[in-house]
Structure 1
Amino acid sequence: MRARTAALGLIAALAILDPATAEARTLFEEGELTLELRSAFKGSLLLAIPYQTDPVFFPESPGGAGLFRLRFDVTANITQYLTVAVAYENRVRSSSGGSIGTGLLPSTAPAPFRLTPLDWVLIQDGASYLHQHELDRGYVSLHLEFMELTVGRQAIGLGRGLMFSAVDVFAPFTPTEVDREWRRGVDAIHLELRIPDISELSADVIAAFGPVENDELTSWALIGRIRAIVGDVDGSVLLGRRGEDNIVGAVLSANLGDAEAHAELALFGTDGQGIDGGFLGTRAVVAKGLIGASYVVDIGTGLRLAAEYHYSGFGVENVGDDPSILYDEAFQLRFARGDSQLFGRHAIAVSASYDLQEDLSGSLAYIQSPVDGSGSVAASFTWTQSDNATIILNVFVPWGTPPEGGVPTSEWGSSPLTIFLQARLYD
């Protein structure tokens, strides 16, 4: 307990240091060579109030969790053509147990596609307390007129979805995750080729590598993408392999007058493990897709509206009818890797956001399963006190048939009413 208190005290003390600037701090500069530091601290508190207790999901009522993250991003611009970057993170997570914070806080599962974790546990007390640190970035990037080459641990995002994605296969966020600033890094080689003076056409090759066990590479991914922009239409096609799955996909977005529309579709040829029935009666072909649109209503500072429908064949066909696949180890591994952002297969989502004042914004997000009617509403308020300090308040209200003896009976009914408060400090 004394070690846990000391760890929390150390990070809290670092958090109250007066930030000087939110822009990168220049540590060294000589000619083209510059060394910059970005530092940030985030303290998150979460109060979960289940509608009824459950021995697995809600052993205590109410329950709580805290997450404290201290992060340093160092970037060295060697020349205009070469950049080296490293990001180190130290975090403490404490929870009253159960599934408190699931989906709202960053996942504690091992990050996919890392040759070696570079993630060390300092103190752990079962599932209630975890103090660890990790190297989340570490890459070298070469910038040329006709190509961009990045080698090492880096963040890679694919797709156009606002809340969901069908083609984002590298550590995607969950649709209810509040803090999306830092996507987890993967060990990869990312090559982007482009024709000088023709920015409308480009091609990417992404190779990512999983852990090495007994001197053998246990998983890998190779994705090729061609992207073209024609007028107001932006489209791309993807082809490759992720782990044991072959992938073919397409992404399309377009401006339609004052509105924006986007769509994604991907087909995965899997080995059938951890799959709750394949696409169109097949055993192992899995489909993922989404279609959505956004629009800004000319009211005051602008009311931003968005809507999406998402289908994930990696999810469960009907959690209430047969949740047994949730306990399949292959399904759990796929879910932890981010193959599906949902437990179920279908989701309808609508969101609205508005700048209430110059430094205060609010948003409302609605997600529902059309299969069992369960869903959630999340109201969020963000106060940007300065470039250095931000406060976020999020109230998450789910509904659905509650679990029975640790067994889910609906997609969202296993989630508690949750109040999330986060302070962000940047230097």
Structure 2
Amino acid sequence: MDSGNLTWAIVASALVVFMAPGIAFFYGGMVRAKSVVSMMMLSFGAMGLVGVLWVIYGFNMATLTDTDAGGFPGFQFAGNPFTENFALAGYDTATLIGATYGATFAVATTALISGAIADRARFGSWMIFAGIWATIVYFPVAGWVWGSGGWIYDLGEIFGFSASTIDYAGGTAVHINSAAAALALALVLGRRVGFAKGVHRPHNVPLVLLGVAILWFGWFGFNAGAEGTLGLLGPENDTVGRIIVNTFVAGAAAILGWVVVEKIKDGKATSVGAGSGAIAGLVAITPACATLDPIWAIVLGVIAGAACCLAIELKYKLGFDDSLDVVGLHGIGGFLGCWYLGFFAQGTGLFMGGNYEQLVLQVVASVAVALYSFVVTYGVGLGIEKTIGFRVKNEDEVAGLDTAVHGEEAYALI
């Protein structure tokens, strides 16, 4: 890796590190004023624990090779975490930076889940869950999707297709994975006290928009960072331009899609809606950023913004309390981005000179990750709830988690 790529790899890693505080701000502004500290601590707690676990053994679990399969190519659970490179010992500089970049993805994915259980989760129980979930869900799924020898990575070869599964920056491994886990935890913990449409509103809209701005800023490292950190940057750097413009324009187009639908549906276009639309577009473009022409990125953004705006209403109709719409934004947006590639991926999409193969691969990969994440998360969450308890007492929820759980107030007005 030359000095330019090395520098970009460091910068991209720093950008994605910044996304975890961005999630904290985005989620923190969405909850009640009495639960801001608690909400933000779920993100920072995940950063501390998952970041350490990734360095100790997570990177080795997620870095698969064809020799890890043990006679069953493509279907191994994960790489051996207890190799001679345990805790990143013995790796060269480029690999260490790449490992750091991977850690930021693990942290962000875990932090995203917390939005579904806002206002009602115990911090200690969340930390136990985060450590277990990262170990048995995120680390192996990252290996399946991005590791040479991972079954999703090799799915096209397994099916005998000419196409390969596309998930450039985490539509399955990050967004669908976290959304499926969020839905499972929301079901385990149950509804908030007084759950109903219009009851729980963002307490600090500027804080929400600050979180959106930080996330959009970091997303350029999230999507384009792999070009440098994984050594993919070619001599002409021809892919980076497409990734950058698609990341920008999909988020921008999704704002338009969201606010138009919101205006038609509710009579007003809101700033929180615009921010949520940007996130929806960024989620959708994540797996597709390197393999779409910009015009199709715009179309995807508009569709994602409109669809996610409608999807967040499902929790009221179906009766599950996904507090901050992780399923509606990251689940629906993630599936849209993955499946959209089956139609519009350059050269392999059904409408772009390819055939049905790309769509089959995208559907199988995304559904498999969602099912695995949901089932395992439900089991882990239920186990924690039935043993040490995951949900706070109702009186603490009503009073606010900040003082009850952390002994702090977000706004100490004297």
Q: TM-score, normalised by structure 2?
A: 0.25
Q: Which has the higher helix share?
A: 2
**Structure number with larger C-alpha Rg:** 1
Q: Which has the higher strand share?
A: 1
Q: TM-score, normalised by structure 1?
A: 0.24
